[in-house]
């Protein structure tokens, strides 16, 4: 089960490419080796930054109201939002991490690709249209729709910020390591550049700029990965059988790469991992927020369909890329440490896809793929920062502290300040955590998301009996329990705190913390006999009508 | 404003209850399908490693596990497509009538 955790870390569905580093190369690669300056990559990256900054300038002219800032005025189409979701979700970790996992152990890579994809249908069937119909700017709008604003928003904003900050740590550390490897920049400059750019995108361009950064990044990543996969398949006459045959012949594990290996063995961990992957996505604040950017439920549904298509297609490509790296990179001395087989890849296994880019398209394409990897990080951290800033400004400041007595201008101003604040925090934490073991962070964020926000959202939409007390207490239990169990598991208790044995014997808490969250939400709701609880249950019908029909839902602003 | 009156009319419209019933049965059925497919796959990985490693046909290197894994990915995409098609067509038409009749 050690591998599974490392692999999880490596993959980080929505982002943390960091894990890429920590995980697969566990041990040898805590510190990425600084490489020679890669000019092709830098030029292409500067090009990407220039284009996105122009878009940010254009977006800033169009960002006047709170609705513009948080949700791009609700004017994004289903197709655009599908691309943006894919851009928010497909991380450098899934690109580099999954292909590295396939490179190292073949079939096992597919297990994660599948897990990270199957959360999407669930979001569509249960959440997407209801989110759109009930919410305005944040998922707390939905959770608190018929409940007491104060306590529910404090809970939801806390959960969102916990997820966002942990996630940002992962992203920043990973970004620093990756950029050091790809561009030959120092860790600290790399982290500052990422932090500064994301602050500019979010503060000036709000959701409009963030969306377009994500759309462009998704296009570049899908295009680059398609080109690589075609390059690999062309080598083998477009025959998978020929590709696999060559890979089995070359790979040190031979035939074993064609079947699942040691990745999943313990059934409890297997199921817990499955639940984490499947339901974690449905509780990520930056993902949920994207459903408020489309004009109506119809477009919200379409966006999930497009997103699922793009993400699924991308995961199939990473698989071909991983096998391509086995056949084209692992035997080429120029890519191996010391130029000999068994020396390992230069820069570690996470470089498999990047080195394959060189094998297929030379220096220029290597530069392109490096720049795409950097752009990928920027798109993900921008989405996270915006989600965190909205939790601070819309939920905590406007709704709780100012109790709604606040102008839109002030709220947006608070949001911009919050983005800068989060950016600075992210840079500082990135630097602090540079040398730490951060492999547990992705497991942690997905587990928290599946155990805190997700159960509260589902219950608020589907269960008449939910009360404020149930939502806040039950959701908090899920949140605390998921964090606590991860701390007591081997990843943190043994590997970070150096204790002899883990207190919690499994790697993923979700199998326990998610049902516990649902149970306590139910228990504290049915025990709640307060007048407020009675009113909250009575308000369910009106909520259900809006939730199902969209009557009274927020509409797109007129531009 | 008039939303309150409209809400009252909707609550009493049998078409509304038909919509909610049909859509939730459909959504939960599809959720059960993807859940079963995915956890079926997870259990095959935990307990059926040998089966997944069987050659796809006599003498092939490709194993049974590959088409199965890819099929789960494709079925996730297909299921979202099926849901969107029915929800954006049949259900939205029903929804439009409900809103229309509430005015």
Please tell me which residue, A132 or A558, carries the higher pLDDT value. Answer: A132
Confidence band (pLDDT; 50, 70, 90) for A337? confident
Confidence band (pLDDT; 50, 70, 90) for A17? very low
Residue A173 is predicted with a pLDDT of 85
User: How open is the CA angle A69-A72-A73, to the nearest 5 degrees?
Assistant: 100
Neighbours of B52 (CB within 10 A): 20
Confidence band (pLDDT; 50, 70, 90) for A239? very high
CA distance A61 to A73: 13
A213 has a pLDDT exceeding 60: yes
Interface of B with A in 56-85 (CB under 8 A): 60-63, 65-66, 69-70, 72-74, 76-77, 79-81, 83-84
* Consecutive H or E run containing B5: helix B3-11
Two structure tokens written together for A518: 């649902």
User: Which residue of A258, A314, A319, A550 is the best one to mutate when testing the B interface, meaning the one whose CB has the most B CBs within 10 A?
Assistant: A258
Confidence band (pLDDT; 50, 70, 90) for A27? very low
Two structure tokens written together for B36: 């079963």
Q: Is B94 on the interface with A (CB under 8 A)?
A: no
Give percent above pLDDT 90 in chain A.
Answer: 57
Average pLDDT, chain A: 87
Residue A553 is predicted with a pLDDT of 85
Residue A8 is predicted with a pLDDT of 42
SS3 of A495, please? Answer: coil
A159 has a pLDDT exceeding 90: yes
The whole-number average pLDDT for the span A68-93 is 91
A29 has a pLDDT exceeding 70: no
Q: Give the distance from residue A307's alpha carbon to the nearest chain B alpha carbon, in angstroms.
A: 9
Residue A11 is predicted with a pLDDT of 41
Are the beta carbons of A192 and A176 closer than 8 angstroms?
A: no
Domain A2-57+84-549, CATH number (from 1.20.1730.10, 2.40.128.20, 1.10.150.530, 1.25.40.340): 1.20.1730.10
A1 has a pLDDT exceeding 60: no
A146 has a pLDDT exceeding 60: yes
CA distance A24 to B25: 43
Q: Give pTM, 2 decimals.
A: 0.90
Q: Select from B75, B95, B80, B96 the least CA-distant residue to A121.
A: B80
Q: Is B38 on the interface with A (CB under 8 A)?
A: yes
Confidence band (pLDDT; 50, 70, 90) for A436? confident
The whole-number average pLDDT for the span A429-445 is 79
Q: Is the CB of A258 less than 8 angstroms away from the CB of B63?
A: yes
CA distance A52 to A55: 5
Burial of B73 by CB count in 10 Å (0-12 exposed, 13-18 middle, 19+ buried)?
buried
Please tell me which residue, A125 or A374, carries the higher pLDDT value. Answer: A125
Kindly give the interhelix angle for B92-102 and B14-47, rounded to the nearest 10 degrees: 150
Confidence band (pLDDT; 50, 70, 90) for A33? low
A10 has a pLDDT exceeding 50: no
Give percent above pLDDT 70 in chain A.
Answer: 91
Q: Where are the domains of chain A?
A: 2-57+84-549
- Chain A: residue whose CA lies nearest to B45: A260
A147 has a pLDDT exceeding 80: yes
Residue A35 is predicted with a pLDDT of 63
Which residues, in sequence order, are bridge partners of residue A345? Answer: A336
A111 contacts on B by Cβ (under 8 Å): 42, 45, 69
A105 has a pLDDT exceeding 90: no
Residue B12 is predicted with a pLDDT of 87
Query: Which tens digit of pLDDT belongs to each residue from A242-252?
Result: 999 999 999 98
A376 has a pLDDT exceeding 90: no
CB pairs under 8 A between A and B: 156
Residue A264 is predicted with a pLDDT of 67
Confidence band (pLDDT; 50, 70, 90) for A494? confident
- Chain A: residue whose CA lies nearest to B5: A542
Residue A373 is predicted with a pLDDT of 85
Q: Select from A70, A91, A81, A66 the least CA-distant residue to A170.
A: A91
Query: Which tens digit of pLDDT belongs to each residue from A41-66?
Result: 888 888 989 999 999 999 998 888 88
The whole-number average pLDDT for the span A263-270 is 77
Give the range among A4-8, A247-251, A262-266 with minimum mean pLDDT. Answer: A4-8
CA distance A430 to B19: 49
Average pLDDT, chain B: 91
Residue A470 is predicted with a pLDDT of 96
Give the range among A74-88, A345-359, A427-441, A457-471 with minimum mean pLDDT. Answer: A427-441
């Amino acid at each position: 089960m050690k591998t599974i955790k490392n692999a999880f870390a490596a993959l980080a569905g929505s982002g943390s490419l960091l894990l890429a580093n920590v995980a697969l190369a566990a041990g040898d690669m805590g510190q990425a080796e600084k490489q020679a300056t890669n000019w092709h990559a830098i030029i292409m990256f500067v090009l990407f930054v220039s284009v996105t900054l122009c878009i940010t300038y254009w977006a800033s002219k169009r960002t006047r109201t709170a609705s513009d800032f948080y949700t791009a005025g609700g004017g994004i189409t289903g197709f655009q939002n599908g691309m943006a979701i894919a851009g928010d979700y497909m991380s450098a970790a899934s690109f580099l991490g999954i292909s590295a996992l396939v490179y190292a152990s073949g079939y096992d890579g597919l297990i994660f690709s599948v897990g990270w994809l199957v959360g999407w249908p669930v979001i569509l069937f249960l959440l997407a249209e209801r989110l759109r119909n009930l919410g305005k700017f944040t998922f707390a709008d939905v959770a608190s729709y018929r409940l007491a604003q104060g306590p529910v928003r404090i809970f939801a904003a806390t959960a969102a910020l916990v997820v966002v900050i942990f996630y940002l740590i992962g992203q920043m550390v990973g970004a620093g390591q990756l950029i050091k490897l790809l561009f030959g920049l120092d860790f600290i400059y790399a982290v500052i550049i990422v932090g500064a750019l994301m602050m500019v995108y979010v503060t000036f361009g709000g959701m409009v700029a963030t969306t377009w950064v994500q759309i462009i990044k998704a296009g570049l990543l899908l295009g680059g990965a398609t080109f690589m996969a075609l390059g690999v398949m062309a080598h083998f006459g477009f025959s998978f059988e020929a590709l696999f045959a060559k890979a089995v012949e070359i790979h040190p594990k031979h035939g074993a790469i064609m079947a699942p290996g040691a990745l999943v063995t313990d059934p409890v961990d297997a199921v817990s991992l499955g639940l984490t992957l499947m339901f974690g996505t449905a509780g990520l604040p930056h993902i949920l927020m994207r459903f408020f950017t489309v004009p109506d439920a119809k477009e919200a549904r379409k966006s999930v369909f497009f997103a699922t298509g793009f993400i699924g297609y991308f995961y199939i490509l990473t698989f071909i890329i991983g096998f391509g790296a086995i056949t084209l990179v692992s035997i080429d001395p120029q890519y191996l440490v010391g130029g000999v087989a068994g020396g390992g890849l230069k820069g570690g296994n996470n470089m498999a896809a990047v080195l394959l880019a060189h094998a297929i398209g030379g220096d220029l394409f290597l530069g392109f793929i490096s720049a795409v990897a950097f752009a990928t990080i920027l798109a993900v951290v921008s989405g996270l920062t915006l989600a965190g800033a909205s939790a601070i400004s819309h939920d905590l400041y406007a709704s709780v502290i100012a109790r709604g007595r606040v102008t839109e201008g002030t709220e947006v101003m608070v949001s911009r300040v919050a983005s800068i604040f989060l950016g600075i925090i992210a840079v500082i934490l990135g630097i602090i955590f540079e040398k730490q073991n951060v492999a547990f962070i992705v497991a942690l964020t997905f587990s928290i998301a599946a155990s805190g926000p997700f159960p509260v959202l589902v219950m608020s939409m589907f269960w008449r009996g939910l009360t404020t007390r149930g939502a806040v207490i039950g959701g908090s239990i899920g949140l605390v329990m998921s964090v606590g169990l991860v701390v007591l598991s081997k990843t943190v208790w043994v590997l970070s705190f150096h204790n002899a044995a883990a207190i919690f014997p499994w790697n993923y808490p979700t199998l326990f913390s998610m049902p516990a969250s649902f149970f306590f939400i139910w228990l504290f709701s049915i025990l709640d006999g307060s007048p407020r609880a009675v009113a909250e249950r009575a308000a369910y019908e009106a909520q259900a009508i809006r939730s199902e029909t969209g009557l009274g839902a927020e509409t797109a602003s007129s531009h | 404003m008039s939303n309150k009156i409209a809400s009252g009319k909707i609550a009493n419209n049998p078409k509304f209850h038909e919509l909610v019933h049909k859509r939730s049965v459909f959504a939960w059925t599809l959720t059960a399908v993807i859940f079963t497919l995915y956890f079926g796959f997870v259990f095959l990985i935990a307990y059926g490693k040998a089966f997944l490693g069987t050659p796809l046909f006599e003498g092939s290197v490709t194993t049974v596990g590959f088409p199965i894994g890819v099929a789960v990915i494709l079925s996730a995409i297909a299921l979202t497509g099926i849901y969107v098609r029915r929800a954006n067509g049949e259900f939205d038409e029903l929804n439009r009538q409900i809103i229309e009749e509430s005015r």
